[in-house]
Every structure is written in structure tokens, then in C-alpha cells.
Amino acid sequence: MNIRNIRLEDLDDVFRLLNELYKNKIQYDKFKEIYYQKLNDANSYYIVAVVNQKVVGVLISELQVQLHRAKKRGYIEDLIVDENYRNKGIGKSLLENAVIYAKDNDCEVVDLNSYITNDNAHRFYEKNGFIKHSYMFKKYLNQ
């Protein structure tokens, strides 16, 4: 397995995996536009796991500056591993890589959100040193 930064040619594989995570709700054209922007964004850290030249996992994260923090925050937006490659240490490797990246970039914390019903993900994150810290609230607009 190889962990590396995303590349332009990974677009369709990253879309496939994220679309699995978001239950086929991602619009390809908008996704493609944002993907191109993020390739050159210094605060975005997008990595993939590759096995036998196939992208089997993706982690999307960002470095963020917040008024109430002395240092930056690493925020993991998405993490997914192809279901045929789960329980092989791929998600753990992606997560460890993102944590190291955050430390190397002067972050004091790494945060992430997980769907409230995703007990498997909760166990995974806790097993990897994350703690349940707060609730996240949403209000959907224009629906």
C-alpha cells in the first residue's frame, strides 16, 4: 500500500469513493470544479491509499485558523476506504498520515465529525486515539 497526495488523474476514483460515502448525492460537475481548486490549495490536504495501482481509500482534510486557538486546527472532512479493502489497516494509515501532517504544520488539535448513527466509525476513531468531544448541529437551508 502507498499513501500519497491526490493527483488530477485520481478524480474519478476519489469521486467514486466519496459518492459511496454520501450515498450517491454528489454532483459530478460541481465536485470536479472544487477538486481542481483544491489541488492547488495550500490549506487542503487530500491523500489517497493505493493498492496495486488502484485507489482504495481517500482522506480529505484541511488546515484551519480559528480565532480562539493559538495554533491551527487540522480538520478531517472525509475518510473512506473501499469496502473490499476495509479492516486491512488502510483507514488507520490514512488517519495517521493526516495527524502527522497536522503536527508538522503547527496544529494543536485534529477534529472530525462522524454521522451519529455510524457506530463502526465511532469505534474506529476511538481506537485510533480520538475522543467524543461535542455535538454538531446543522440547519439545512433552501430545502
Confidence of residue 68 (pLDDT cuts 50, 70, 90): confident
In a domain, 116, yes or no: yes
Please enumerate in sequence order all residues whose Cβ is within 8 A of that of 69, keeping only pairs 6 or more positions apart, or say none: 108, 109
CATH of the domain at 119: 3.40.630.30
In a domain, 140, yes or no: no
Residue 138 lies in a domain: no
How many angstroms separate the CA atoms of 118 and 68, rounded? Answer: 29
Mean pLDDT of 43-68: 96
What is the structure's pLDDT at 62? 97
User: Is residue 69's pLDDT more than 90?
Assistant: no
Residue 9 belongs to some domain of the structure: yes
First vs last C-alpha separation in the chain: 42
| Residue 45: domain span | 2-127
Structural domains of the chain, count: 1
Residue 141 lies in a domain: no
What confidence tens digit (pLDDT) does each residue in 82-109 have?
A: 999 999 999 999 999 999 999 999 999 9
Is 142 contained in some domain? no
CA–CA distance, 75 with 114 (Å, rounded to integer): 12
